[in-house]
């Protein structure tokens, strides 16, 4: 396994894993996801600093914070599309796809319940995990069709950016993304435009299959913590905020 990871890091072909048609892991891809995790933790830490009164960052209006959130969120969603393509090359892809969706869906439900307990007026009813589950379901038929994935993805993004209507302002349809105003929730990631980023990730995943893992070799040379975080991104996503908030609470009550 160590030799296999070294081959990927150097851009060499990796030995096939029995029962699959693609390498078990691509270190560079895990490292990219790890970078996104680190950026997310930093963003949420700043958010928590404001929550505890240590800072006054304007996350809702400052273009720098808005751009940071969009970049972090977009990277996660694009990588979800890339990973969907790579996972589809396995012979056990259907079973793994269902297992993956169940895990993310369960985590999304947990986030909704926990946020309702903490912020009943602003709980997360359609956040990033909810969006990933639905987007992956919609994106799966596009695997193997990179041009269609790119066109559909661009159209979904454009529709989400340029179209809105009051009929979508309630929760019943608000998850689609055509609201005229941001709803009162701690995390809102509607399908339009964000599912489009997943679809474009599918096109990028197909390109990665043709180019080979060597294109991600520079990221494989990042510190080992990055691919580790990338391999365990869902667990890190679930535990990082309780740890950050708990640490800040202990600091303020020391």
Query: For 113-124, how does the pLDDT look when each residue is reduced to its tens digit (9 = 90+)?
Result: 999 998 899 999
Per-residue pLDDT at 18 exceeds 80: no
Per-residue pLDDT at 2 exceeds 70: no
- At 144 the three-state DSSP class reads coil
More confident residue, 12 or 183: 183
Q: How confident is the model at residue 25 (pLDDT cuts 50, 70, 90)?
A: confident
Within a 10 A sphere around the Cβ of 247, how many other Cβ atoms?
Answer: 12
Distance CA 111, CA 113 (A): 5
pLDDT for position 7: 45
Q: How confident is the model at residue 193 (pLDDT cuts 50, 70, 90)?
A: very high
pLDDT for position 23: 47
Q: Taking residues 37-41, what's their average pLDDT?
A: 98
The pTM for the full model equals 0.88
Q: What is the mean pLDDT of the chain?
A: 90
Q: Taking residues 61-87, what's their average pLDDT?
A: 97
pLDDT for position 251: 95
Domain boundaries, the chain: 2-11+24-252
Distance CA 42, CA 137 (A): 30
3-state secondary structure the chain: CHHHHHHHHCCCCCCCCCCECCCCCCHHHHHHHHHHHHHHHHHHHHHHHHHCCCCCCCCCCCHHHHHHHHHHHHHHHHHHHHHHHHHCCECCHHHHHHHHHHHHHHHHHHHHHHHHHHCCCCCCCECHHHHHHHHHHHHHHHCCCHHHHHHHHHHHHHHHHHCCCHHHCCHHHHCCCCCCCCCCCCCECCHHHHHHHHHHHHHHHHHHHHHCHHHHHHHHCCCCHHHHHHHCHHHHHHHHHHHHHHHHHHHHCC
* CB-based burial, 22-45: b 16+ in 10 Å, e otherwise: bbbbbbbbbbbbbbbbebbbebbb
Q: How confident is the model at residue 222 (pLDDT cuts 50, 70, 90)?
A: very high
Distance CA 10, CA 4 (A): 10
| Cβ contact 126:175 at 8 Å | yes
Q: How confident is the model at residue 24 (pLDDT cuts 50, 70, 90)?
A: low
Q: Taking residues 84-97, what's their average pLDDT?
A: 93
Distance CA 194, CA 201 (A): 11
Query: For 142-179, how does the pLDDT look when each residue is reduced to its tens digit (9 = 90+)?
Result: 999 999 999 999 999 999 999 999 999 999 999 999 99
């Amino acid at each position: 396994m160590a030799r296999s990871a070294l081959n990927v890091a150097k851009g060499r072909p990796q030995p096939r894993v029995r029962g699959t048609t693609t390498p078990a892991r691509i270190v560079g891809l895990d490292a990219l996801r790890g970078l996104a995790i680190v950026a997310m933790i930093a963003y949420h830490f700043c958010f928590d600093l404001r929550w505890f009164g240590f800072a006054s960052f304007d996350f809702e209006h400052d273009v720098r914070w808005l751009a940071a959130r969009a970049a972090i969120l977009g990277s996660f969603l694009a990588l979800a599309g890339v990973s969907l393509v790579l996972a589809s090359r396995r012979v056990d892809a259907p079973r793994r796809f269902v297992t993956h969706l169940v895990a993310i869906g369960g985590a999304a439900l947990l986030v909704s319940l926990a946020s309702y307990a903490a912020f009943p007026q602003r709980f997360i009813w359609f956040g990033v995990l909810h969006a990933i589950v639905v987007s992956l379901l919609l994106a799966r038929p596009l695997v193997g069709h990179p041009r269609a994935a790119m066109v559909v993805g661009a159209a979904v993004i454009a529709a989400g950016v340029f179209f809105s209507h009051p009929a979508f302002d309630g929760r019943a349809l608000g998850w689609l993304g055509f609201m005229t105003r941001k709803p009162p929730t701690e995390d809102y990631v509607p399908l339009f435009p964000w599912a489009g980023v997943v679809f474009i990730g599918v096109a990028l995943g197909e390109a990665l299959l043709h180019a080979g893992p060597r294109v991600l070799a520079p990221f494989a040379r990042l510190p080992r913590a990055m691919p580790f975080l990338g391999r365990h991104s869902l667990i890190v996503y679930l535990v990082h905020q309780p740890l950050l908030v708990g640490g800040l609470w202990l600091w303020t009550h020391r």
